[in-house]
């Protein structure tokens, strides 16, 4: 089964591909205080909704990168309805193939996509290199609300040290030489809405695409994930929003 296809269908009803409400998104954008013409990089931009909001709020210039052809297609269609289309470049491909001058961006964004750089520390290092001194990094990253059960870690297929606590996530940025400016976490309503739409997206697709040979595997995967979320994830895995200055 095409993993990117599954992810796109599961996020078919999401505005943002993360547990992020519009209210919180706009609040985060207001914190950035960018100058007109600022250059913004969004690594793993998904449907580019957050990038569009940043560019249009500040009159910035944006570059969004994502490996998913499905998300890139949605992002391009979305841009047709926005005046910021001429100010945003969408790049479909692997972040490892992206070339830019060091310190050439005023803001680097990476929301739930640290794995593109191997891990959270890798994302910080890469964005720090691309953002100018005095520039900003906005990162969305999972964290452990509590010590995870061994069963959850096993089913999640992520090592225990893949994440740390909320405070530990801030500390890693500080240890990398960044100045923490802001930190907040998604609330239960944002998580429930995100996970509920994720389940609903696959279930609705399966109901109307019964001849798709991937449907049975999709249903198995999403129902297992939903069970994991209700049993462990809701109380164990959080999502934080971290703003740093280089």
Q: How many residues does the chain have?
A: 246
Residues of the chain where predicted confidence (pLDDT) is lower than 50: none
What's 151's domain CATH number? Answer: 3.40.50.150
- Give Cα separations from 18 to 65, 73, 192 (angstroms): 16, 18, 11
Token representation of residue 81: 């309805």
Answer yes or no: is 209 within a domain. no
Residue 201 included in any domain: no
Residue 205 covered by a domain: no
Residue 104 located in a structural domain: yes
Residue labelled with tokens 């400016």: 181
Residue 131 near residue 246, CB atoms below 8 Å: yes
* Count of structural domains, the chain: 1
The angle at the Cα of 193, spanning 218 to 213, to the nearest 5 degrees, equals: 10
DSSP 16-53: SSSS--HHHHHHHHHHS-PPTT-EEEEET-TT-HHHHH
CA 139 to chain centre: 8
DSSP 229: I
Domain that holds residue 79: 20-189+237-245
76 within some domain = yes
Q: Please give the pLDDT value at position 1.
A: 84
Q: Which residues contact 110 (CB under 8 A, 6 or more apart)?
A: 42, 43, 44, 116, 117, 123, 127, 137, 138, 139, 140
pLDDT at 61: 98
Residue 88 host element (H or E): strand 88-92
pTM for the structure as a whole: 0.95
Q: Which two tokens stand for residue 166?
A: 């909320």
**Inside any domain, residue 105:** yes
Q: Which residue has the tokens 């740390």?
A: 164
In a domain, 208, yes or no: no
In whole angstroms, give the CA distance from residue 159 to residue 153. 6
């Amino acid at each position: 089964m095409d993993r990117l296809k599954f992810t796109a269908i599961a996020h078919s009803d999401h505005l943002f591909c993360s547990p992020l409400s519009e209210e919180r998104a706009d609040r985060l954008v207001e914190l950035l205080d960018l100058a007109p013409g600022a250059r913004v990089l969004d690594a793993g931009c998904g449907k580019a909704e957050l990038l569009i909001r940043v560019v249009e709020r500040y009159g910035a210039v944006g570059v969004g990168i994502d490996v998913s052809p499905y998300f890139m297609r949605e992002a391009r269609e979305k841009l047709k309805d926005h005046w910021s289309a001429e100010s945003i470049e969408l790049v479909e491909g692997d972040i490892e193939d992206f070339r830019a001058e060091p310190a050439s961006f005023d803001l680097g964004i990476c929301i739930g996509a640290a794995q593109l750089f191997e891990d959270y520390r890798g994302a910080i290092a890469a964005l720090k290199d691309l953002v100018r001194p005095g520039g900003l990094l906005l990162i969305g990253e999972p964290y452990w609300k509590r010590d995870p059960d061994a069963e959850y870690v096993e089913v999640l297929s992520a090592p225990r040290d893949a994440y740390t606590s909320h405070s530990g996530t801030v500390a890693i940025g500080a240890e990398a030489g960044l100045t923490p400016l802001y930190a907040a976490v998604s609330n239960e309503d944002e998580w429930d809405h995100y996970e509920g739409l994720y389940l609903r997206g696959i279930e609705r697709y399966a109901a109307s695409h019964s001849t798709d040979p991937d449907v049975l595997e999709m249903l198995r995967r999403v129902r297992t994930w939903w069970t994991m979320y209700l049993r462990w994830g809701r109380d164990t895995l959080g999502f934080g929003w971290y703003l740093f200055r280089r």
